[in-house]
Structure 1
Amino acid sequence: MAQNAVSTTYRKKINSKTTVLPKKKSKTAVRYKRAAWSLQDFTFAFIVAIVVGAVMFFSLLISNRTSSIDDQLQSKNKQIQSITNDNEKTREKINQLTSITALQSFAAKNNMQMNSGNIQNIKNK
Structure 2
Amino acid sequence: MSDHPESYRTLNSPARWSGRLGLSQALSAAGRNDFRAFRLGDVGPDLRFPAFVRWENEHSGSLGEPVMSHAAIQERADQYAHGRQRLKRHKLLVVEHLDAQSPDGFYRKYSAQRIGARLFPDMCSSATTG
Determine which structure has the larger strand proportion and give its number: 2
Provide the TM-score with structure 2 as the length reference.
0.23
Q: RCO (CA 8 Å, sep 6+): is it higher in 1 or 2?
A: 2
Provide the TM-score with structure 1 as the length reference.
0.24
Determine which structure has the larger helix proportion and give its number: 1
